[in-house]
Amino acid sequence: MKLETIAFNNLRRRKSRMAFLVVGLLIGVATVVTLVSLSNALTADIQHKMENFGANILLTPRSDTLSLSYGGITLGGVSIDSREIVQADLVKIHTIKNSRNISAVAPKVLGAVTVDNERVMLMGVELDKEFHLKKWWTINGEPAKTDHQLVVGNTAAAKLNLKIGSKLTISGELFEVTGILDKTGSQDDQLLIGSLPTAQRLLNKPGTVSLVEVAALCSDCPVSDMVNQIAEVLPNVEVRAIQQVVKTRMHALDQFRTFSLAIAAIVLLIGALVVFVTMMGSVNERTREIGIFRALGFRRGHVVRLILMESAAVSLLAGLLGYLVGMLATQAVLPFMAEHQVALHWSPVLAGLAMLLALLVGCAASFYPALHASRLDPTEALRAL
């Protein structure tokens, strides 16, 4: 027989009151867990996209003139500067300080060729890298694999009347169309896409590239630092970061996080109030019992400990259940919020934090009731009913 025995037996007997306490705290904890794990999962979702979809640093030849092109509209008919990037210089990109954050370097050469008397843009790429980087490309047929195979943009294919398996001649060389891109809505629709060495030969641009797309690994790696680092090793190249979209998304997520923390705080506060009112009621109901304890020689401190022990037990249970409920709720809601399949992490750390949070809120809300109980007049126990 210890104080714990009394606390647990009391909780066991007053099951409905205990259930009420647990539910009151559980809702608060579950809300916090849901919102925290949801925003973590959404951040992971965005990071995943950043890592897998597209470039976030663009290298173009440094130009002394202002660009006359915007949104695909080019004035003056001159869009390709006479300067090009030397392909051999690109290995320097891997010497920068943050080189381990670079997941792909995709150089390409651009130039106009004539096919059946139509002028068309040929883009030479490192085939494997490009198809890996542009996950949003849907290719009908097969990606090009050899130097004399091409993938054709949707509009270009229609214009040139090309189908999968069609043959065409560029500058006297025979090519086979292995795949046609689904409409992308971008300039990619207008292109013939072939291998880099072939395009360099056809366009007479040996050893040079027109632009380079670089994919950095993660959303929070220092893209602007990397831009500076690359500009340092490639002084004749214009280096720009494409991060506007990601920044907007992250900003929205930050707002969601702040908003959810505010909601969670309110729900927790209500939970704390439920605990306070219930414990206060419980203490008043147990006036006589507490009087008996005091008469039998319990100190005030013992009474406080007894009440806090009960609320600690209830809080830990509510914390654990709140974690489970919160994770299940996240699992239910996540598919509607994340575009990509995100795995939910059942983290013991979050479970521990949930229980700690419940313990803190539960004990803080029970402290005054416990103090009140310890100050009850023990003579109540001796008075006749």
Partner 1 sequence: MSFIEIENLGKTFCSDADTVVALGQIDLKIEDGSFLGVMGPSGSGKSTFLSIMGGLCHPSEGKILVEEIDLYRLSSEKRADFRREYLGFVFQSFNLIPYLTAQENVMLPLAVKKIPVKQKKALANQVLERVGLSHRLTHLPNQLSGGEQERVAIARALVNSPPLILADEPTGSLDTATSQEIMGLFQELNEEGQTIIMVTHNDENRPYFDRTVILRDGNIAEDSNRRPKVVAQAG
Region binding partner 1 by CB under 8 A among candidate stretches 6-14, 69-77, 100-108, 219-227: 6-14
Using rule CB under 8 A, residue 292 touches partner 1: yes
C-beta of 367: minimal distance to partner 1 in Å? 19
At 122 the three-state DSSP class reads: strand
Using rule CB under 8 A, residue 249 touches partner 1: no
Region binding partner 1 by CB under 8 A among candidate stretches 46-54, 88-96, 176-184, 376-384: 376-384
Number of neighbours of residue 40 by Cβ within 10 angstroms: 17
What is the chain's length?
Answer: 385
* From candidates 73, 88, 343, 384, binder to partner 1 by CB under 8 A: 384
Region binding partner 1 by CB under 8 A among candidate stretches 127-135, 193-201, 274-282, 295-303: 295-303
Using rule CB under 8 A, residue 371 touches partner 1: no
Using rule CB under 8 A, residue 372 touches partner 1: no
* From candidates 176, 225, 238, 289, binder to partner 1 by CB under 8 A: 289
Closer by beta carbon to partner 1, 339 or else 377: 377
The structure tokens listed for 167 are 């043959």
Beta carbons of 130 and 108 less than 8 angstroms apart: yes
Strands 173-181 and 149-152: parallel
DSSP 167-199: EEEETTEEEEEEEEEPP-SSGGGGEEEEEHHHH
Beta carbons of 216 and 242 less than 8 angstroms apart: no
C-beta of 316: minimal distance to partner 1 in Å? 21
**Residue 141 CA: distances (Å) to CA of 17, 52, 162, 186, 195:** 67, 22, 13, 20, 17
Number of neighbours of residue 77 by Cβ within 10 angstroms: 6
Using rule CB under 8 A, residue 71 touches partner 1: no
Q: Which amino acid is at 294?
A: R
User: Which stretches of the chain bind partner 1, using CB under 8 A?
Assistant: 1-3, 5-6, 9-10, 12-13, 288-289, 292-302, 378-379, 381-385
